[in-house]
Amino acid sequence: MTHSLARTTTPRLTLVVAAVSVMVASNLFGASAHADDSPSVPPGTEPTVAAPVQVDPNDPDLKLPEGATLASAKVLDIKSVVEDQSGDERREDTNTDVKFALQAEVLFSKDSAKLSAESKARIGAIAEEIKTQNATRIRVFGFTDNLGSSAHGDVLSRQRANAVQAVLDDELNDPNVTFDVRGYGEQYPISSNATEEGRKKNRRVEVTFPRGAS
């Protein structure tokens, strides 16, 4: 088993939670700059099947009992989750990816896909991190709560994802960058829709990109 360390470098975020999870693949990106009208399961959620390093079952340092064999290797990843005190912004780091989740309330007015100047500054900070990681494949996914019709949520989340992608594209100004932009509506909530606190977390836009080589 390989132990890995994930780094967090965002100084203004204060609450850190660490969890061990199955490593997720990071190679499913499209070249589309607009949201998908018929989204599938969010890319990047599939576990990998190969261990990051080779394990030698004959290594004497393992000191296996006579006749024993190693179990199949498990691919583990250290996930670092950093959230600001208000919960408006959340960052997740794994060995392979960086994900920012911004609550819709800090980006848009109610039922709107128009970004404010302050919202654009937040997205600009994410663009700077993308540059730091030298990432050229970026996923931008929009989500809503389950209030209102599902069709309306699909459209709104798609419009919001497009709005965030447009700012990132302008800030990065790099023809080598490709985007996978989708609107998932009320699908894939990260909290319960039974309370307003949970619904607020579900109304979000996520920006995910690969980590640079360390």
* Per-residue pLDDT band at 66 (split at 50, 70, 90): confident
Q: Where are the beta strands (DSSP E) in 8-58?
A: 15-22, 35-36
Q: Which pLDDT belongs to residue 99?
A: 95
Q: Which of 109, 101, 114, 99 is nearest to 45 (CA)?
A: 99
Q: Which pLDDT belongs to residue 209?
A: 97
Q: What's the pTM? A: 0.67
Helices within 23-98 (DSSP H only): none
Question: For residue 180, is pLDDT > 80?
Answer: yes
SS3 46: coil
Instruction: State the average pLDDT for the chain.
Output: 78
Q: Which amino acid is at 181?
A: V
Which helix (H) or strand (E) segment holds residue 165: the answer is helix 150-172
